[in-house]
Amino acid sequence: MTIPGTTKLENLKTNLGAYEVQLSGDEQAALDQLADRVTGDRYDEQGMAIVDA
């Protein structure tokens, strides 16, 4: 998935390159474990209202 708001062609090419990345099951599991440790909201209450809309 590309990052919304990408305005430079070189950044778009880099983002599209992510489609080529393939993770092993162990790599995915390690990333899942790290993601499970993340807590809290990224944005304040007003920002979350926009995201959740």
User: Which tokens in the block code for residue 47?
Assistant: 């920002």
What's the domain range around 31?
A: 8-38
Strands (E), 1-53: none
Output the pTM of the full model: 0.52
Determine, yes or no, domain membership for 28.
yes
Q: Tell me if 25 is assigned to some domain.
A: yes
Count helices and strands (H / E) in the chain.
3, 0
Average the pLDDT over 27-46 and give the result.
91
In a domain, 23, yes or no: yes
- Tell me the two tokens of residue 31: 């990333």
- Residue-wise pLDDT tens digits, 2-31: 566 788 899 888 888 888 999 999 999 999
Considering its fold, how many domains does the chain have in total?
A: 1
Is position 1 within any domain? no
Specify if 32 maps to a domain. Answer: yes
